[in-house]
Amino acid sequence: MIERRELVCDSGGAGRCRGGLGRREIFRVPADAWGPSGPVSLGIQSGRFRLPPEGLAGGRPGARASFLVNGEPGDPYRLTRLAPGDVVTMDAAGGGGYGDPLERPVELVARDVAEGYVSLARAREDYGVAIDGASGAVDAAATAAERAARAGDN
């Protein structure tokens, strides 16, 4: 039974064009009268568990994929045996970013934060954009200072 499907915050690689977000699916093997009477075999086809999707032209890599069984790392390369009540969490990899993250327009970073695609911390770390957590407003002076300080590092 699928319990949740959602996009994974901070999974898209930072860039002038942010990489696409990975998707999380959480499902549980039913442990009631409607569930299986014994173990269930799960085989998945996915990739990017070892190496993240690369960024291009100065963009950063996206997040790697993950596969958890009952909160513990599972082996995505083998058949997995599940018992009734087991919970599987699969995160697809995020896409790599394209271009220098400091060139992403501030208003797009603010929108990414408002929509839950990028966290406040990563907005500042990756894009040099300071956003007030309570109001969601961009601190223009702090953002300009942050980006100016980093421009010399590139």
User: Tens digits of per-residue pLDDT, 128-143?
Assistant: 999 998 999 999 999 9
Q: Are residues 69 and 123 in the same domain?
A: no
d(CA 81, CA 35): 15
- How many folded domains does the chain comprise? 2
pLDDT band with cut points at 50, 70 and 90 for residue 154: low
Q: Are residues 92 and 105 in the same domain?
A: no
Which of 99, 126, 146 finishes a domain? 99
Q: Are residues 68 and 122 in the same domain?
A: no
For 31, the domain range is: 1-99
pLDDT band with cut points at 50, 70 and 90 for residue 152: low
Q: Are residues 109 and 76 in the same domain?
A: no
Q: Are residues 118 and 83 in the same domain?
A: no
Q: Are residues 29 and 55 in the same domain?
A: yes
Are 18 and 117 within 8 A, CB to CB? Answer: yes
Which of 52, 81, 99 finishes a domain? 99
Q: Are residues 111 and 63 in the same domain?
A: no
Q: Are residues 35 and 14 in the same domain?
A: yes
Q: Calculate the alpha carbon distances from 147 to 41, 53, 63, 112, 126 in Å.
A: 50, 25, 24, 18, 10
Are 48 and 64 within 8 A, CB to CB? Answer: yes
Q: Are residues 92 and 134 in the same domain?
A: no
Q: Are residues 81 and 119 in the same domain?
A: no
User: For residue 153, is pLDDT > 80?
Assistant: no
pLDDT of residue 129: 97
Q: Are residues 67 and 55 in the same domain?
A: yes
Average pLDDT over residues 58-86: 95
Q: Are residues 33 and 86 in the same domain?
A: yes
The pTM of the whole model exceeds 0.75: yes
User: For residue 33, is pLDDT > 80?
Assistant: yes
| 112 backbone dihedrals φ, ψ, rounded to 5° | -60, -40
